[in-house]
A and B are shown apart, each in its own frame.
Chain A
């Protein structure tokens, strides 16, 4: 199975900060990588698909990138807003079973 490792597992940041979350795959997954946001008590919400494509309706302060190796990926929030405090998950869909990273909880400093 492909292991997805996210870091950090949690972070504290202030409104207006730039935040970057990393996700590393245990093997090359090409560009088959999505990012989700989940708020407490809610279902996850797709933010970015195929590494860097913004899902419809997602604010442009969110962006995704990859290193080109097929194993290292980033989710960035350019200017953190109050509604962005949530848990973020990466997910690979290159090979079954589909797997998620362990999550990164973004908290208010």
Chain B
């Protein structure tokens, strides 16, 4: 059974940093692209960033470019999101999601974690 477990969320002041982690199990982690998708409370889904299986292809939504960095450690079945210069509008549940095919970063998502809440507020 595929499992994705996020951690690292919490309350942080504007301008500060936070690092999210996602631990994957139950599938060959290193074979799949992985993604971060967020959802502000009561709002819709927004793709944040994706990384290909070998980290060779990475992309971000414009609103987080230059502030967020996605990375992965296939040896430890782990995905990360380093979030710097956080803003109030970054407040959301952050979901880790597994790609649903063997493509690069242009994929759908067939497994999701339970999400971790990031609250940016003074």
Do they bind each other? yes
Contact with A along B28-44 (1 / 0, CB 8 A): 00000001010000001
Say whether A102 faces chain B, with CB atoms less than 8 Å apart. Answer: yes
Say whether B114 faces chain A, with CB atoms less than 8 Å apart. Answer: yes
For B44, list chain A residues within 8 Å (CB): 89, 100-103
Say whether A55 faces chain B, with CB atoms less than 8 Å apart. Answer: yes
Say whether B61 faces chain A, with CB atoms less than 8 Å apart. Answer: yes
A46-84 CB contacts (< 8 Å) to partner B: 46, 49, 55
- Contact between B45 and A46 (Cβ–Cβ < 8 Å)? no
For B61, list chain A residues within 8 Å (CB): 97
State whether A96 and B59 are in contact (beta carbons under 8 Å apart), knowing that A32-B106, A103-B45 are contacts in the complex.
Answer: yes
Say whether A28 faces chain B, with CB atoms less than 8 Å apart. Answer: no
- Size bracket, chain B contacts: 20 to 34
Task: From the candidates A1, A44, A95, A99, name the one contacting B112 in the complex (CB within 8 A).
Answer: A44
> Do most interface residues of chain A lie in helix, strand or loop, or is the interface mixed?
loop
- Size bracket, chain A contacts: 20 to 34
> Closest approach, in angstroms, between the C-beta of B55 and any C-beta of chain A?
16
- The chain B residues found within 8 Å of chain A, CB to CB, are 35, 37, 44-47, 50, 59-62, 95, 100, 105-110, 112-115
